[in-house]
């Protein structure tokens, strides 16, 4: 079951010391709740709501990258990585030296920014690598994708590659739920 809503409160049963979360749900979930009532244990995950971008945003991005690749005699994949690094979102993450390869599985682009040593709460010194990690556009929310696409459109225009008109782009963004 997946739905949207708001968190209304957190309480506790003082006898059992069990916490209780109160949610206000936007959709009618009574049938799903009825099916789940008999379950001994549930997996519960509550995350902040974000507008999902439409798939046509991703399709348009790859169309533009393909056009750029032909003009620049490159591959659309190479240009994608370049655009992620120029215009995408990233996080700096400290990881133990033996965990660098596993981060390359999680993130689309990982740039090693060097070695550092941190001291744990227990006083132990641990040698780490500082990584600059870029997520792939498939993980972008609507706003992040809009920024990336705007920049790629700008690059295309500089290369005299035809793009959607500003009005068409505005309408496309409205379909994605971006405030324009």
What distances in angstroms separate CA 169 from CA 27, 41, 60, 164, 174, one per listed residue? 31, 46, 10, 6, 9
* Residue range 98-103: mean pLDDT, rounded: 91
Evaluate if residue 95 carries a pLDDT over 90.
yes
- Within 10 Å of residue 20's Cβ, how many Cβ atoms? 10
Task: Check whether 53 has a pLDDT greater than 70.
Answer: no
Secondary structure string (H, E, C) spanning 126-157: EEEEEEEEECCHHHCCHHHHHHHHHHHHHHHH
- Output the pLDDT for position 54: 56
Local confidence band at 80 (pLDDT 50, 70, 90 cut-offs): very high
Of the pLDDT bands very low, low, confident and very high (cuts 50, 70, 90), residue 143 is: confident
Q: What is the pLDDT of residues 103-139, one digit of tens each?
A: 998 899 999 999 999 998 999 998 999 999 999 988 8
Q: State the pTM of this model.
A: 0.64
Q: Given this model, what pLDDT does residue 108 score?
A: 92
Cα distances from 164 to residues 56, 63, 135, 146, 150, in angstroms, run 13, 11, 26, 14, 11
Looking at every residue in the chain, the average pLDDT score rounds to: 89
């Amino acid at each position: 079951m997946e739905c949207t809503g708001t968190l209304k409160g957190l309480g506790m049963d003082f006898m059992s010391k069990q916490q209780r979360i109160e949610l206000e749900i936007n959709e009618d979930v009574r049938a799903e709740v009825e099916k789940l009532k008999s379950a001994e244990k549930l997996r519960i995950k509550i995350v902040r709501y974000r507008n999902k971008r439409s798939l046509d945003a991703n399709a348009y991005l790859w169309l533009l990258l393909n056009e750029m690749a032909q003009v620049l005699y490159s591959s659309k994949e190479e240009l994608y990585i370049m655009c992620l690094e120029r215009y995408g979102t990233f996080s700096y993450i400290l990881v133990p030296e033996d965990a660098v390869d596993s981060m390359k599985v999680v993130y689309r682009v990982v740039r090693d920014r060097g070695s550092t040593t941190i001291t744990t709460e227990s006083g132990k010194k641990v040698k780490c690598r500082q990584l600059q990690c870029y997520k792939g556009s498939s993980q972008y929310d609507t706003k992040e994708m809009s920024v990336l696409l705007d920049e790629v459109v700008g690059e295309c225009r500089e290369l005299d590659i035809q793009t959607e008109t500003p009005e068409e782009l505005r309408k496309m963004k409205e379909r994605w739920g971006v405030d324009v």
